[in-house]
Chain A
Amino acid sequence: MRSEYPISRGRPRAIESRRTITLILLGAFALSLLGIDWSEGVFRPRGVSAIGETLGAFIRPDLSPDLLRTAAAAAWQTAVYAVAGLTVALLIGIPLGVVASGTIARSRLGAVTQIGAARAVLAFFRAIHELVWALLLVAAIGLSPMAAVLALGIPYGGILGRIYSELLQDVPQAPLDALRRSGASEWRVFLFGRLPMALPDMVSYTFYRLECGIRSAAVLGWVGLGGLGFQVQIALEDLAYSRVWTFLWALVVMVVLVDLWSSQVRRRLAP
C-alpha cells in the first residue's frame, strides 16, 4: 500500500501542532480569568433572582386561553414568514446551486466561469445576516411582510445554493460514467444521475434550514415585523417571564413539528 506511506509519516507532525494549539488556547483561557474582577461578583446584583424567575417561568409558562390565542396567532405568522422565506430561498438556491456546481457546463472553461460567478453571488447573499438584510429592506420598502420574507429568503438562498452545489458535486462517479457511455449529455446525466443521488441529502438539509428559518423569522419580530419575536419582546419589556416562556415554548413546538415532518419525508426518500 504505497498510499499509506505519506500518511504515517505526516501523522506525528500533525499531532505536535495540534498539541501546540491546545496549549496556546489553554493559556489564553487562563489569562482571561485574570482579567475578571472577582470581588464585584460575576452577576449583577439582581441577576441571581432574575435567573430564578426565568427558570420558574420555564416550568410554569402562562397558559391562559387569551395568551394561548395570541401565541397561536403569532406562531402562525412566524411560520408563514419562515415558509415564504424558504420558498424565496429555494427559488434562489436551486438555480444558483446547480450553476455553482459546474456540473451542467459543456466545457472546462465554462465550468470554471459558472462556478466562480455563481459562488460569488451566493457568498454575497449569505455574508450578510438576515437581521441586517431586514434592517436594509425595512429602510428601503418599509415595515411590510415583503421585507421580512426577502430578509429571510436572500441569505438562506445563499446558504442553500452553496450546500446544493457541493452535494451535487459529491455523488458517486461510476453511475454517471455509465450514463455518459449510454450517450447521455451532461444535462441528462444531471437529471438521471446527479439529481436523484443528491436529492435525499438536499431535502434533508432543506428541512434543517426550515427549522433555522422559523427561529430566524421569530427573531425578525425584534425589528418590528410581528410574530413570536415581537410578542417575546413586549413580554420581556414587561418583565413577564411566564409570558415570555409561553411564546418560546410555541417556538420549540414548531421546531419539533418540522423535525417530525422531515423524518417522515426522509424515510420515504431513503434508497
Chain B
Amino acid sequence: MLRANSALSSSNAPAVLLDGVSKRYDEATVLAPLSLAVEPGERVALIGPSGAGKTTLLRLIAGAVAPSTGCVELRGRNVASLRPGRELARLVGMIAQQFDLVPNLSVLHNVLAGRLGEWSFGRSLLSLVWPRDQRLAFEALERVGVTHLAHQRAARLSGGEQQRVAIARVLVQRPTVVLADEPVASLDRARAREVVRLLTDVTEEQGETLVASIHSIDLAREFFDRIVGLRNGLVQFDVPAFSIRDRMLEDLYEIEGLRSEV
C-alpha cells in the first residue's frame, strides 16, 4: 500500500532538522538564525502574524530557496546536496494555499502529476493520453473523498475540492515530509476544518511528518501535536499543542506600540 519512502534515509535522524538557519533578501532579514528539529511522524503547526517568516521557513525546508546561513536536513540528508527532481520529491512534498492545480487537466491527471518524479519521459507522455498508475490515483482520490470528480477538469472544482485533490496528489507522491502553506486560508470554517482533519489523518496513516502554517489557532490546537510560534523571523515559542496559553498568543500577535494594558 501507500507508505512513505522511509527506506531512503537513516532511520533515527529527525525528519526535519534546521541548524542555525537564516534567510536574508538583500538587506532585509526574513528569518533570523533559528534551529528546529521535527521527529518522524510529528505534526507541527506554524503560527504567527503575517510577515513572520512562515512561508520562507516552509520554502527552506522544501529546498525551494537556499538558506543564507546554516543548513537544512531531511532525514539526515542535507537538502542543498539533493538534486532537485526525484530525489527531493521523495523526501518532501508541498500543498499550497490555492491555484496549485493545472486548471485544464482532469482531476485524475492532476493527481497523477504526483508521479511525474518517478515516471520516465515516455511513460509521462503516454499518461497524457492513457493515464498510468490509475489504481494508485483512485485509491488516493477515494481517501480524500472525491472519486466522483476524477474526470472533471480541475477548473470546475470548488476551493475545498481543489485542496482535496492537492492532498491526493501529495498522497501519490509519497514524500516522507509533507509541508502545507496555509492550506485552508481560502476556505470557510466548516470546510477548513474538514480539510485539515483529512490532511492530518492521511499523513498520519502513511507515517509521514507534517509541517503546516495555519492561521487558525483552534485548528492548530485540535489537530496538531506541536505548535511553533514565529514572529519577526524568530521562534517565539515551541510547545506541545495542549500546553499553549492565551498569554503566549497575545504576545505573538501583539502589534508593536499598541500593547493593550490588561
Chain A interface (Cβ within 8 Å of chain B)? 172, 174-175, 177-185, 187-188, 191-193, 196-197, 199-200, 269, 271
Contact = CB atoms under 8 A, between A and B. Distances in A.
B64 interface: yes
A145 B187 CA distance: 60
Given A183-B90, A184-B116, A178 B101 contact: yes
B116 A181 contact: no
19 contacts: A172-B99, A174-B99, A174-B100, A177-B64, A178-B166, A180-B84, A181-B89, A182-B113, A182-B169, A183-B88, A184-B85, A187-B121, A187-B124, A188-B121, A191-B125, A192-B105, A200-B104, A271-B103, A271-B153
A106 B102 CA distance: 22
Given A192-B116, A192-B124, A183 B85 contact: yes
Given A191-B125, A192-B124, A196-B104, A185 B85 contact: yes
B103 A175 contact: yes
B121 A174 contact: no
A185 B86 CA distance: 9
Contacts of A191: 124-125, 128
B157 to A, nearest CB: 11
A235 to B, nearest CB: 47
A188 B84 CA distance: 14
A200 B89 CA distance: 30
B114 interface: yes
Contact of B116 (A188, A196, A271): A188
Interface string B87-115: 01110111010011111110001000111
A197 B113 CA distance: 14
A177 B93 CA distance: 12
Interface centre among A174, A182, A185, A191 (most CB of B within 10 A): A182
Contacts of B159: none
A13 to B, nearest CB: 29
A48 to B, nearest CB: 55
A172 B105 CA distance: 14
B102 A192 contact: yes
A17 B96 CA distance: 44
Contact of A174 (B85, B96, B119): B96
Contact of A178 (B96, B115, B119): B96
A131 to B, nearest CB: 38
B28 to A, nearest CB: 14
A182 B155 contact: no
A237 to B, nearest CB: 51
Given A172-B99, A177-B96, 4 more contacts: A181-B62, A184-B85, A184-B124, A192-B109
Contacts of A182: 89, 93, 113-117, 169-170, 173
A197 B110 CA distance: 13
Contacts of B225: none
B39 interface: no
B238 interface: no
Nearest to B128: A191
B118 interface: yes
A-B pairs with the 7 shortest C-beta distances?
A183-B117, A183-B89, A184-B116, A271-B155, A196-B104, A178-B100, A174-B99
Contacts of A193: 102
A193 to B, nearest CB: 5
Contact of B119 (A181, A188, A197): A188
A175 B100 CA distance: 4
Contacts of B90: 183
Contacts of B170: 182
A199 B105 CA distance: 11
Contacts of B119: 188
Interface in B214-241: none
Nearest to B154: A271
A178 to B, nearest CB: 5
A174 B162 CA distance: 14
A174 B103 CA distance: 11
A170 to B, nearest CB: 14
A174 to B, nearest CB: 5
A68 B89 CA distance: 65
A95 to B, nearest CB: 15
Given A192-B102, A192-B113, A271-B104, A181 B118 contact: no
Contacts of B86: 183
A79 B92 CA distance: 54
B89 to A, nearest CB: 3
Interface centre among B84, B115, B116 (most CB of A within 10 A): B116
A197 B104 contact: yes
B107 to A, nearest CB: 13
B123 to A, nearest CB: 10
Interface centre among B93, B94, B115, B124 (most CB of A within 10 A): B124
